[in-house]
Amino acid sequence: MAHIALATEADDPARSCRSVKVWDPIVRVFHWTVAGGVIANLTFLRHQETPHIYVGYAVVTALAIRLMWGVVGRRHARFSSFIPGPSGLWRYFRAMAARREPRYIGHNPAGAVMIVVLMVLLATVGTTGWMMGLDLFWGVGWVETLHEVAANILIGAVALHIFGAIFESVRHRENLPLAMITGYKRAPTGTDIDHAPTAD
Ligand code: HEM
Ligand code: HEM
């Protein structure tokens, strides 16, 4: 069951003006390392093999740390606090279609699914990139193809992810990209959800 904040808090302007720390430094450094590294490797470092590999390894290292942090880290960083079950996701999509989706203090269910997709694509691109340098897979066609295909799918996923971040920022009148820099979001009010989604 969702823990919904008390309705009386919604009417308290002093409380609604306050902000809460949501994204810890590991989440924020991870995000902007990955965003910068991926954009660089897809554009001006695409054919610069040595820096491409260094930047790629930086992205992979950030991902590995983030995956561990998703298990042992702080509240909103934990996967168990934001990865929804199928019915939780379905409910969120139905609420979106009716334009009454609640505001989440952590990742919302749709954003969370996209985050999982992005992480799987990053792991695929990183693993195939690493494999390309091994004697065992040197010049093996499918490894290079998978690296390039996963990178191209990543472009589409990132575009949707950015669209989603802007869309939800407008819907809830809150600058979510800025929150990913500062770590702070508006404190929860009446209908906001600040809980782990039910894994149903
Ligand atoms: C290659 C580019 C990018 C990748 C691979 C990427 C990936 C991710 C990932 C994995 C997360 C989850 C963070 C976590 O919990 O650790 C995330 C969150 C987020 N990203 Fe990105 N991102 C990219 C670019 C951007 C850009 C350019 C923006 C700004 C418009 C942005 C805005 C956000 C926001 C606002 C969140 C938090 C969403 C929420 O509030 O639930 N991302 N991103
Ligand atoms: C941030 C994640 C990464 C992204 C988005 C990415 C993206 C790409 C793309 C799009 C290409 C195709 C270039 C082309 O032929 O048009 C490529 C090639 C390549 N990538 Fe990555 N890459 C990443 C990480 C890595 C890593 C971690 C390594 C190695 C450790 C690596 C090694 C290579 C190599 C060696 C090539 C050249 C392959 C060739 O020219 O046939 N990449 N990468």
User: What percentage of the chain has pLDDT greater than the value 70?
Assistant: 89
DSSP conformational letter for 187:
P
Nearest CA to ligand 1 atom 4: 35
pTM above 0.85, yes or no: yes
Using an 8 Å Cβ cutoff, are 107 and 115 in contact? yes
Q: Assess if residue 91 is contained within a domain.
A: yes
Tell me the CATH number at 128: 1.20.950.20
Q: Which residues partner with 184 through β-bridges? A: 21
Task: For ligand 2, say whether the CB of 131 is within 6 Å of any of its atoms.
Answer: no
Q: Assess if residue 68 is contained within a domain.
A: yes
Q: Assess if residue 11 is contained within a domain.
A: no
pLDDT digit string (tens) for 109-138?
Answer: 999 999 999 999 999 999 999 999 999 999
Which of 103, 107, 58, 102 has the alpha carbon at shortest distance from 78?
107
Using an 8 Å Cβ cutoff, are 185 and 20 in contact? yes
Choose which residue among 47, 131, 132 to substitute to test ligand 2 binding: the one with the highest number of ligand atoms within 8 A of its C-beta: 132
39, 56, 132, 155 from 143: Cα distances, Å: 21, 16, 7, 19
pLDDT digit string (tens) for 37-51?
Answer: 999 999 999 999 999
- The strand pair at 19-21 and 184-186 is best described as antiparallel
Task: For ligand 1, say whether the CB of 186 is within 6 Å of any of its atoms.
Answer: no
Domain that holds residue 35: 23-183
- The domain tally of the chain equals 1
Ligand approaching nearest to the C-alpha of 57: 2
Nearest CA to ligand 1 atom 41: 107
